[in-house]
């Protein structure tokens, strides 16, 4: 079975531009989360979605937004890009069978975003 | 002060050595503890997942959790050059009412196993 897939793998943008990153979860997984990993640091939580609803949001500005589609795939959008947005953006999926279960997160290989 | 502290290394050991990786945390609400391995330019790969205090073993890997001291460890026995990677500890306080599941990561320890 395919793991979490993300596209594109690499992206170069200039300051002020907008970017859309895409993620397809593992088949059968209903929850998708997004993380930002700056070089030399651990990933930081941005968003979590389950059944198209936002379940959680990290400490990121409103320039960051996301959505989840009926097929459970997801998009992360970042507006008005800043140099500091340069990072590896990771998508993770989990089964999330119900609200009462805590399950393991499985990560994709990420999208490397460079803002010039 | 960060919620999760992890020594960045790098840590260099000879092949066959026992490796000890550690994290400390300050948030007593954390209930679930994980170790991820991340190779260069790849996403994190889940190695170990624990809930309770104590030890959990899986092959050459042993995860240890001490909630009273807010301290977790990962031990790697008979280390191999293929174990060379960055090791990230992660933890979460799963919110049952909202279903929110946000991991808080350490900054990662870079491990180099010399052949």
Q: How far separated are the first and last CA of chain B, in Å rounded? A: 37
**What pLDDT sits at residue A99?**
53
**CB < 8 Å to B44, chain A:** 43, 90, 107
Instruction: Mark yes or no for CB contact B103/A45 under 8 Å.
Output: yes
Three-state SS for B82?
helix
Residues B2-57 have pLDDT tens digits of 899 998 889 999 999 999 999 999 998 898 899 999 999 899 999 999 888 889 99
A2 contact partners, CB below 8 Å, separation of at least 6: A24, A26, A27
Query: What is the DSSP code (8-state) at residue B18?
Result: -
B59 contact partners, CB below 8 Å, separation of at least 6: none
**What pLDDT sits at residue A20?**
98
What are the φ and ψ backbone dihedral angles of B64, each rounded to 5 degrees? -130, 135
**CB < 8 Å to A50, chain B:** 99
Closest CA to B46 of A88, A107, A33, A45: A107
pLDDT band at A101 (very low <50, low <70, confident <90, very high): low
Across A74-90, b (16+ Cβ under 10 Å) vs e yields bbbebeebeeebbbbbb
- Count of CB pairs separated by less than 8 Å, A with B: 76
Instruction: Mark yes or no for CB contact A43/B94 under 8 Å.
Output: no
**What pLDDT sits at residue A39?**
92
Strand bridging mode A111-115 / A87-94: antiparallel
Residue of B nearest to A47 (CA): B102
Integer Cα distance of B8 and B97 in angstroms: 35
pLDDT reading at A100 higher than 60: no
Instruction: Mark yes or no for CB contact A104/B34 under 8 Å.
Output: yes
B10 touches chain A (CB under 8 A): no
Query: What is the DSSP code (8-state) at residue B95?
Result: B
Residue of B nearest to A51 (CA): B99
pLDDT reading at A71 higher than 80: yes
Query: What is the DSSP code (8-state) at residue B59?
Result: T
DSSP chain A: ----EEE-SEEEE-TT--EEEEEEPPTT--EEEEEEE-TTS--EEEEEEETTEEEEE-S--TTEEEEE-TTS-EEEEE-S--GGG-EEEEEEEE---STT-----EE---EEEEE-
pLDDT band at A97 (very low <50, low <70, confident <90, very high): low
**What pLDDT sits at residue A11?**
96
Integer Cα distance of A81 and A116 in angstroms: 9
Closest Cβ–Cβ partner in A35, A99, A106 for B96: A99
Q: What is the mean pLDDT of residues A86-115?
A: 85
Which of B10, B86, B99 should be substituted to probe chain A, the one whose Cβ sees the most A Cβ atoms within 10 Å? Answer: B99
Residues B63-88 have pLDDT tens digits of 999 999 999 999 999 999 999 999 99
pLDDT reading at A1 higher than 70: no
Instruction: Mark yes or no for CB contact B101/A105 under 8 Å.
Output: yes
Q: What is the mean pLDDT of residues A3-25?
A: 97
């Amino acid at each position: 079975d395919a793991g979490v897939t993300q596209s594109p793998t690499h992206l170069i943008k200039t300051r002020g531009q907008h970017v859309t990153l895409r993620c397809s979860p593992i088949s059968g997984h209903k929850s998708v989360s997004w993380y930002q990993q700056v070089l030399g640091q651990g990933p930081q939580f941005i968003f979590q979605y389950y059944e198209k609803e936002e379940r959680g949001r990290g400490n990121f500005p409103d320039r960051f937004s996301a959505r989840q589609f009926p097929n459970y795939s997801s998009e992360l959008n970042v507006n008005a890009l800043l140099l500091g947005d340069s990072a590896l953006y990771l998508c993770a999926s989990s089964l999330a069978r119900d609200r009462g279960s805590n399950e393991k997160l499985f990560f994709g290989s990420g999208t490397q975003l460079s803002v010039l | 002060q960060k919620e999760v502290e992890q020594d960045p290394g790098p840590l260099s050991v000879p092949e066959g050595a026992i490796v000890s990786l550690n994290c400390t945390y300050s948030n007593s609400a954390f209930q679930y503890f994980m170790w991820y391995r991340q190779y260069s330019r790849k996403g994190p790969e889940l190695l170990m997942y624990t809930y309770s205090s104590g030890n959990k073993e899986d092959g050459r890997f042993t995860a240890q959790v001490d909630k009273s001291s807010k301290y977790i460890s990962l031990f790697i026995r008979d280390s191999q050059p293929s174990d060379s990677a960055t090791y990230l500890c992660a933890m979460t306080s799963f919110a049952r009412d909202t279903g929110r599941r946000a991991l808080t990561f350490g900054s990662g320890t870079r491990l180099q196993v010399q052949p």
